[in-house]
Structure 1
Amino acid sequence: MKIEGIVCPVCNEPLNEQELNKSLVCPHCRTNLKDRKYLDFVEFLMAQGIVADMDFFDQALYGSDAVYEPDIEELDETDPNEFERIDKQIQNLEEEVELNEVTTDEEEFRQWEGIEEDWEEFNRRQELSRND
């Protein structure tokens, strides 16, 4: 990929892609571009495919960013009460629950007695009228 106008971020002189692929040293000002100050420039070269073999764990380039050290505060944010067993709480909930079941008296059923037979007779009449 040919990109016109790649210049050194230090001396603003034009750079050759083949020379950059061999070493990240400016031939004009002899600045080592593999430095944390020029990280954006090096990442641009990597994105364009000019520099291919770059180590993301290189301490000279990425410095201490490559090493993750968790903060002590982050480790202390865990609440042990969140992880306690709650079996007893669940048992208490189960014991306290009262089911308010609505039951109907047999008298209410007797009030509707005969409705099923009425529907059956209605369906028979409908069927007979369809057949005629």
Structure 2
Amino acid sequence: LIELGVIEINTEPLDARIERRLKRFWENTSCPRCGHQSIMTWEKHDRVRCRNCEFKPVYTHGTPFHEKHLTTGEVLLAFTLYADTLLSINQIAPLLGRAYKTVHTAIREAEAAVQRGFPLTWELFNQTIDGPTQVDESGKVCSG
């Protein structure tokens, strides 16, 4: 379907939203190098700048989107498709028009970042879930 032009994936709107959110995050955080609360962002540039120490990372610095051969939207889409569907990396890579290894690396690094980012959540799951368990959309826990 992709080769026939029936399916076309355009992540530009998603890329723009992620960029705005990450830049907003940078504006409200301290510099990772000097700790000063003086980060500047620009709408037209992919760099942010600390007014105090002149640190100038790209806005994706310190995120799962940093230094990938995929756009931010493609990383998020690939991870979501892999985590929420039965699609394999072999099926996702052609959807994005990317190599298997590129998509595999992005998904694995995003997965690791999610696990690192929510240690309290994983700890809570490990303490409360004993045996096969399901949680429905109301939040009610049902044993299976």
TM bucket (normalised to shorter chain) is under 0.3
Whose strand proportion is higher, 1 or 2?
Answer: 2
Q: Highest relative contact order (Cα 8 Å, sep 6+), 1 or 2?
A: 2
Flag the structure with larger Rg: 1
TM-score (norm 2): 0.21
